[in-house]
């Protein structure tokens, strides 16, 4: 099944009054909405993302049919429920409640799981949890809600950090993880070496981090770093810097581009960054180096 619904479309199946939303705050791979719900009997279709529900006000008996069986609990402030992605569920409750929903993308869940287990994770599933009282989850949800309300400086970065910590907690206590078998020794094959070298050259002007390079080969960052060093004789970061310096050397000797433009084309954070590293590598700053070719 590929027609999973997005969390933005959830009100079509579970109508409620929106109290708070993160929709326009620039958060990546995670979203928040808070709702006031009257008692309902609803079926939630399979969703693209994982959903965590935190209960903020109201007390109600709750029944849920998940994976063919019913569970029943009483939900009150401080409790939380989980709904794994790609899984339809039937929910029914009688009394009005205020809730927070946290939605986490499968891409981020798998990425963090891959880093934790140092293996490519192909699937994460949350356990069938209708009610848990977990102070860590409650505190993180409240912090998300406060950030969505206040939209503080550096909000997306703050939320990403919290989300990663939340995912680690979920993976430790409430998740089932399936990994792909992956060799843990050796180095990159000739094809993999060529692929990653071409990827670096093509993207030198962009931000090149370990995760992006590892993803190009379908590896976890830790495994990729080990294999890369074995294959190239240098860590990925040092390799990228060397390629940037080589491109800068070539452009300085064969083009009339301004040094500031060269620093941007080579992916340095600014001209001063390039100058510092270039001087260290070639014994002269870029402007002086260029004079030798004029």
Residues 74-98: tens digit of each pLDDT: 999 999 999 999 999 999 999 999 9
Concatenated DSSP letters for the chain? ---PBPGGGGGGTS--EEEEE-TTTT--SEEEEEEEE-SEEEEEPPBSSEEEEEEEE--EEEEEEETTEEEEEEE-TT-EEEE-TT--EEEEE-S-EEEEEEEE-HHHHHHHHHHHHTS-EEEEEE---S-B--HHHHHHHHHHHHHHHH--TTHHHHHHHHHHHHHHHHHHHTEEEEE-----SS---HHHHHHHHHHHHHTTTS---HHHHHHHTT--HHHHHHHHHHHHSS-HHHHHHHHHHHHHHHHHHH----HHHHHHHTT-SSHHHHHHHHHHHHSS-HHHHHHTT-
Predicted TM-score (pTM) of this structure: 0.67
Taking 50 as the threshold, does the pLDDT of residue 195 lie above it? yes
Contacts of 267 (CB under 8 A, 6+ apart): 203, 204, 205, 206, 207, 208, 240, 244
Is CATH 3.30.950.10 correct for 7-179?
no
Taking 70 as the threshold, does the pLDDT of residue 241 lie above it? yes
The pLDDT value recorded for residue 102 is 98
Surface-to-core class of residue 133, CB atoms within 10 Å of its CB (0-12 exposed, 13-18 middle, 19+ buried): exposed
Strands 40-44 and 50-57: unpaired
The superfamily CATH assigns to domain 184-294 is Homeodomain-like (1.10.10.60)
Taking 70 as the threshold, does the pLDDT of residue 183 lie above it? no
pLDDT tier for residue 3 given thresholds of 50, 70 and 90: confident
Q: Taking residues 261-286, what's their average pLDDT?
A: 91
pLDDT tier for residue 145 given thresholds of 50, 70 and 90: very high
Range from 8-12, 112-116, 234-238 carrying the lowest mean pLDDT: 112-116
Could you tell me the residue ranges of all domains in the chain? 7-179, 184-294
pLDDT digits (tens, 9 = 90+) for 102-122: 999 998 998 888 778 766 777
User: What are the tokens at 230?
Assistant: 């074995």
Q: Taking residues 154-177, what's their average pLDDT?
A: 93
Rounded to the nearest integer, the mean pLDDT of the chain is: 91
């Amino acid at each position: 099944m590929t027609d999973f619904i997005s969390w933005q479309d959830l009100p079509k199946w579970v109508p409620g009054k929106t109290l708070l939303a993160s929709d326009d705050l620039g958060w990546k791979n995670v979203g928040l909405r808070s709702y006031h719900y009257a008692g309902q009997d609803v079926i939630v279709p399979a969703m693209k993302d994982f959903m965590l529900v935190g209960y903020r006000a109201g007390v109600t008996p709750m029944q849920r049919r998940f994976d063919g069986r019913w569970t029943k609990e009483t939900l009150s402030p401080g409790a939380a429920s989980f709904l794994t992605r790609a899984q339809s569920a039937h929910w029914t409750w009688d009394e009005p409640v205020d809730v927070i929903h946290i939605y986490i993308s499968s891409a981020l869940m798998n990425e963090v799981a891959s880093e934790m287990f140092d293996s490519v994770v192909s699937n994460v599933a949350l356990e069938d949890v209708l009610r848990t009282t977990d102070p860590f989850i409650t505190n993180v949800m409240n912090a998300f809600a406060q950030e969505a309300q206040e939209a503080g400086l550096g909000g997306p970065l703050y939320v990403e950090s919290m989300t990663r910590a939340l995912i680690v907690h979920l993976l430790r206590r409430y998740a089932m993880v399936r990994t792909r078998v992956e060799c843990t020794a050796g180095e990159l094959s000739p094809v993999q070496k060529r692929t990653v070298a071409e990827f670096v050259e093509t993207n030198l002007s962009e931000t090149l981090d370990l995760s992006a390079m590892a993803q190009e080969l379908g590896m976890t960052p830790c495994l990729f770093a080990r294999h890369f060093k074995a294959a190239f004789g240098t860590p990925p970061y040092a390799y990228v810097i060397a390629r940037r310096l080589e491109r800068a050397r070539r452009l300085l000797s064969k083009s009339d581009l301004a040094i500031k433009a060269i620093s941007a084309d080579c992916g340095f954070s600014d001209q001063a960054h390039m100058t510092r590293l270039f001087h260290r590598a070639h014994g002269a700053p870029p402007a002086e180096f260029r004079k030798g070719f004029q």
